[in-house]
Amino acid sequence: MSSSIWPLRFIILTVLGLLISAFLFYLKILNREQESERMLEVMSNLAQVGAWSFNLEKKHVFWSDMTKKIFEYPLDEQPKWSENLNYFKEGESREKIAKLVERAIKHGESYETELEVINANGQSVWALVHGEAEHKNGRCVRIFGSLQNIDARKKVELENRKIARFNETLASLTVSDEILNGKLSQSKELITQSICQALEVNCASIKLFNQQRTQLIQFASFNRSGSENNIPWLQETIPDFFTAIERKAIFCVDDAQQHPYLAPSKKATFNRFQSRRCCVFLFLQAVALLE
């Protein structure tokens, strides 16, 4: 009887051995996967790369922890998809991502581009955005991708580009025949045009105070649209503005049409040229105005 039991015991022991080996192998694979996940998480934190996805059928959004950190979003929550894409900065960035997402959904085109996003505190952050679309039965069911924080690098790049543009503009002015030969009428137009190019603004002008310092009268200007604005700025119309530029050499506002110092003259000056930002530099008897 014992001879008939031993084969059965051997089979049972063999099966148990195989199960134990399989379990140990599974644990080894699991440990490797966990280690790989930890390494990927460390690399993601170092590179500041996060993942994101949006299920078009379920209207479900997923942000990885790093993506939430980039947006300064609570780590224990998932955001809702914004139909107007207000996670991206209004203007060029939002318009660009809207077109890219539309092409991805309609035509399955992937994209990768640098855009400004808006975090939970309302601050803009430069990010490298990558996106792809998943289609089933000819219909887009999901878009997904990655988001990398490149804010520090991008700002250095933009600053270097600005410095290079300034240097190029300055070099072109120093070798200009009009300036070297003292041709004032041609020089002033060239200078205002160069200011527009260097600072990437639409309009630049130089205005001079009258003797009583109650008016700012046009001396030179350049407008990319070709329009002219020769209307003098009067102290009686915008007294707070005149007081402000007497007190400090630089006066800069983001919305000239809404600022209380400039609002009284917006119809004659800013509305006409669709100006928003206004920056004024005071040089003794002259004012350089950027719009």
The helix (run of H) or strand (run of E) holding residue 180 is helix 177-180
What pLDDT is recorded for position 284? 44
Residue 268, classified by CB atoms within 10 Å of its CB into exposed (0-12), middle (13-18) or buried (19+), is: middle
More confident residue, 110 or 219: 110
DSSP conformation letters of 224-270: TT-----PPEETTTSHHHHHHHHH-SEEEES-TTT-TTTGGGIIIII
Q: What is the pLDDT of residue 273?
A: 47
Given a contact cutoff of 8 angstroms between Cβ atoms, the answer to whether 242 and 209 are in contact is no
Say what the pLDDT of residue 165 is: 83
Give me the residue label for tokens 């002008």.
Answer: 205
Domain range annotation of the chain = 1-47, 48-149, 155-290
Does 118 score more than 80 pLDDT? yes
Structure tokens at 7: 């084969």
Q: Of 2-11, 25-34, 118-127, 226-235, which gets the smallest average pLDDT?
A: 2-11
* Cα 48 to Cα 69: distance, rounded to the nearest angstrom: 9
Q: What is the pLDDT of residue 268?
A: 53
**Mean pLDDT of all residues in the chain?**
78
pTM over 0.85: no
Assigned CATH for 48-149: 3.30.450.20
At residue 244, φ and ψ (nearest 5 deg) are -65, -45
pLDDT at 258: 65
CATH number of the domain at 155-290, please? 3.30.450.40
